[in-house]
Structure 1
Amino acid sequence: MKQRLVASVHEKSDLLMREGGYTNAACSSPCIDEGVLDSPPKCETFSKVSIIPLVFLIFYEVSGGPFGVEDSVKAAGPLLALVGFLVFPLIWSVPEALITAELGTMFPENGGYVVWVASALGPFWGFQQGWVKWLSGVIDNALYPVLFLDYVKSAIPSLADGFPRMAAVLALTVGLTFMNYRGLTIVGWAAILLGVFSLLPFLFMGLVAIPNLEASRWFVVDVNHVDWGLYLNTLFWNLNYWDSISTLAGEVENPSRTLPKALFYALILVVLGYFFPLLIGTGAVQLDRELWTDGYFSDIAEILGGVWLRFWIQGASAVSNMGMFLAEMSSDSFQLLGMADRGMLPEIFGKRSRYGTPLLGILFSSMGVILLSCLSFQEIVAAENFLYCFGMLVEFIAFLKLRIDHPSVSRPYKIPLGTTGAVLMCIPPTLLIFVVLALASYKVMLLSIIALLFGFMLQPCLLYCEKKNWFRFSVSSNLPDGSGYRSINEV
């Protein structure tokens, strides 16, 4: 990279804007514009997220509890399901969490992986990363109303389909979107309460299941009757998205210390939150693989503990899906805000409400959820996984390129591996990505490729809009001066 001397923060922003193809019409004010026309903008300091709420935000970004893992038993039987949720985290979750810890502390700002890729591969690929990961996040968020209704439709049959189901999806989306609008701090502490409530019934189910446990049921396997596509998609969906928390790193209290610790604690919580319920469910009831689909844990609860435990599991599913929705929307909306701060999206995406939340980002994300909620659970998982795989391939490349090209840039947390070790760490998850992509149906593959091509066209269109002054683009002057992105581009 050519030597560049920059005299001021605004000149640095000009340089980044030229590299991205945008002109710096005016840097965004560090003050928060509340969108009130009859009063001047006010500067406000919003509360940062501390470690305990951050742990549960990550927990909900990735998991939210065992709701949705049932298909792994249907696809492969008890043994492979249990082994999968122990081995898969080592292959995928640990490397992704480590990369998130290193790059999230290297770039302590909103936007996360978008900034990582832009600094390593250039603004075009940074934008593509933002488009693909935002779209996969919105698709992922569309799952949660579906999962919620799948759990309660046995108690309220009218919610199974038709207008009542559509109305319920809309009401859920609107209500949870409003909670997200009210502030990230509220979302974080709500995640703690929701997380405790959603995991407690499985502890009770484990206690009442002890007399019924038969260890032989855990070792049932039939490799000739395994739906590998459903099996891997279920594991992959339930154990990814560790990098999502990076998109709101700018809202975290002391991210260089807090983020790595929170990722570690969340990893333990997620693995236990999957393995223990599967251990109880497969060991305590007679196996019928066809029954193991989303919502089946509530049936197991009724068998073991009665109607009261079934209702508790259904209630836990409801609040779990609320927590996952809130965490995912926070990540998606702050990602758009971070992209606007870097001049990749129109400046209006960087505007915040009086609660510090990104208004337009929340609106766009909620609209996407409503449009996609009509798809089935399996279709949503497969489409989301395909797009997410593409984004993760780009992310791994960016991680390795930053390690090779900029080894001396400050990394408050650094994975204790050299360049060769970092490459070797990325090989198993990369191979897994290609397996997941190969197992996708032609329908999912076609729709995903169309989505990718749309992103390739969208960025030049935005450049044209900026050139015609149809939208205003700028680099925020409120970005952290010590971020890795600035350090790299000042070398």
Structure 2
Amino acid sequence: MQDSDGPRLARRLGTADAVTIGLGSMIGAGVFSAFAPAAAAAGTGLLVGLALAALVALANATSSAQLAAQHPTSGGTYVYGREHLGAWWGYVAGWGFVVGKTASCAAMALVVAAYTAPPGWERPVAVAVVVVLTAVGYRGVTRTAQAARVLVAVTLVALAVAVAAGATGGQARWSAVLDADGAHGGWYGVLQSAGLLFFAFAGYARVATLGEEVRDPRRTIPRAILLALGVVVVLYGVVAATLLAVLGPDALARSAAPVSDAAAAGGWGWAPAVVAVGAVAASVGALLALLAGVSRTTLAMARAGDLPRWLGAVHPRFAVPHHAELVVGVVVVVLVLTTDLRGAIGFSSFGVLVYYLVANLSALRQTGGHRLYPRAAQVLGAVGCVALVLTLPLPAVAAGAGVLAVGVALRWWRLQRRGRRAA
């Protein structure tokens, strides 16, 4: 299976597999940790923030689905930006995704280790997790989907146990969920909570980065993205309401493990252990999908010459971008050994929003039969991305902008070098 850009990946994923990968990408460590800082920013106003985050995610998802249906190939917004806006736009999106999501991979691995490793062994355990999951992805995308299906099931069971324990334990005050007196921070606090909670949704377009491996992509990709996002919006709403009712906004803001604390408040002694297992499963599932998505974008950038060409190699047996898989795994291991969780998440957030901003601008340029959704959705998504960037802490914006500038400088240098050789 080859074309002018090199070997093609095999189309092995159906709608159920694509939805599962989308769920595994979204239902990660964020659902177990993001509600606490959101409550600190807005109190009960985090519910409005959750709605805003879901609205921006929906707008971005429709743009990603519309673009993926027209361009069913690996690379996601890197490809869309090149096709509709120009090579530089595509490069900025691709660089933001690869750098930001590689940092997210390291963060997810560190979260897994935090729940499982004895003191002092967190980094070695995180490295082991990355090595094992890189090996799983190397064996083929169908194995990625199979593993994601198991991990999603475990995570959903854990969240169901936490919600049931908290709701039936006699501690829940449902009137507090909509108590306006529990909100604080004003509109800035609400927007900040939306910015924090948006990243719990950020895996919905991972299906688009696997577009070359999905059967009947014009039909499957939009359906899978919207189905996965709809399930997650409902799930997050239920979890958020339960946490506010059981813990209250102040205790929720102080909690290091809010879902576990809500489960413990219900009096089910075994429930927190189940939640811990679910948190690990969610992080592993998200990490597995992230490794797959980053390697596919790396593949697309290598095919176009924006990264070394040898990263575009496809394994003759497993039909995966095996060089990209291995390099991404090595870089994540280096980050696990050298960075902390907060630093990894900071500039990852910036990169994700830049990526989706380019997606929305690309979707605005689509015409004719390729348009599946109104232009207003893309305008909303673009404005939402910019607004959420403005809510990020200044150090995160500075770090993200710095890394983006380094990527732009590297491409400029490569183009100058290529031009001198041609002359």
Match of 1:451 among 403, 414, 419: 403
Structure whose residues are more often helix by fraction: 2
For 2:278, the equivalent position in structure 1 comes to 316
Structure 1 residues 197 and 132, CA gap change in structure 2 (3 angstroms)? same
Alignment of 1:64-463 (within 5 A): 64=28, 66-76=31-41, 79-90=44-55, 92-152=56-116, 156=118, 158=119, 162=120, 164-208=121-165, 209-212=167-170, 213-220=172-179, 221-224=182-185, 231-285=193-247, 288-289=250-251, 292-353=254-315, 354-373=317-336, 374-400=338-364, 402-403=365-366, 407-408=367-368, 410-411=369-370, 414-417=371-374, 422=375, 424-463=376-415
Deviation at 1:338, TM superposition (A): 1.9
Contact kept, 8 Å, 1:338 with 1:350, in 2: the verdict is yes
Query: After superposition, what is the alpha-carbon deviation per residue over 1:338-386, rounded to whole angstroms, capped at 9, x for unaligned?
Result: 2233343333111123312212212232233233335444443332222
Contact kept, 8 Å, 2:353 with 2:389, in 1: the verdict is yes
Structure 1 residues 185 and 285, CA gap change in structure 2 (3 angstroms)? same
For 1:462, the aligned partner's letter is R
For 1:56, the equivalent position in structure 2 comes to 20
Structure 1 residues 173 and 230, CA gap change in structure 2 (3 angstroms)? farther
Deviation at 1:330, TM superposition (A): 0.5
Q: Which moved more, 1:201-210 or 1:169-178?
A: 201-210
Contact kept, 8 Å, 2:10 with 2:212, in 1: the verdict is no
Query: After superposition, what is the alpha-carbon deviation per residue over 1:160-205, rounded to whole angstroms, capped at 9, x for unaligned?
Result: xx4x122122111111111111111011121111111111122233
Q: Matches of 2:160 and 2:77 in 1, distance apart?
A: 36
Q: Matches of 1:367 and 1:338 in 2, distance apart?
A: 19
Q: Matches of 2:116 and 2:42 in 1, distance apart?
A: 25
Q: Matches of 1:447 and 1:118 in 2, distance apart?
A: 25
Q: Matches of 1:205 and 1:390 in 2, distance apart?
A: 34
Q: What do you get for the CA RMSD once the two structures are aligned? A: 2.8
Contact kept, 8 Å, 1:151 with 1:298, in 2: the verdict is no
Contact kept, 8 Å, 2:36 with 2:253, in 1: the verdict is no
Percent identity between the two aligned chains: 21
Larger-Rg structure: 1
Contact kept, 8 Å, 2:27 with 2:152, in 1: the verdict is no
Contact kept, 8 Å, 1:74 with 1:289, in 2: the verdict is no
Deviation at 1:287, TM superposition (A): 5.0
Query: After superposition, what is the alpha-carbon deviation per residue over 1:441-473, rounded to whole angstroms, capped at 9, x for unaligned?
Result: 34323322221121112223334565688xxxx
Structure 1 residues 83 and 29, CA gap change in structure 2 (3 angstroms)? closer
Structure 2 length as normaliser, TM-score?
A: 0.88
Structure 1 residues 433 and 112, CA gap change in structure 2 (3 angstroms)? closer
Contact kept, 8 Å, 2:40 with 2:250, in 1: the verdict is no
Deviation at 1:88, TM superposition (A): 2.5
Structure 1 residues 71 and 460, CA gap change in structure 2 (3 angstroms)? same
Contact kept, 8 Å, 2:69 with 2:217, in 1: the verdict is yes
For 1:3, the equivalent position in structure 2 comes to none
Deviation at 1:304, TM superposition (A): 1.6
For 1:231, the aligned partner's letter is S
For 1:18, the equivalent position in structure 2 comes to none
For 2:310, the aligned partner's letter is I
Q: Matches of 2:104 and 2:314 in 1, distance apart?
A: 24
For 1:218, the aligned partner's letter is V
Deviation at 1:106, TM superposition (A): 0.4
Query: After superposition, what is the alpha-carbon deviation per residue over 1:52-79, rounded to whole angstroms, capped at 9, x for unaligned?
Result: 1110111222333722323245324552
Deviation at 1:250, TM superposition (A): 0.4
Query: After superposition, what is the alpha-carbon deviation per residue over 1:381-411, rounded to whole angstroms, capped at 9, x for unaligned?
Result: 33222222223322222222x23xxx24x52
Q: Matches of 1:263 and 1:331 in 2, distance apart?
A: 14
- 1:242 is paired with a residue of what secondary structure? coil
Deviation at 1:215, TM superposition (A): 1.3
The runs of 5 or more residues in structure 2 that have no matched partner are none
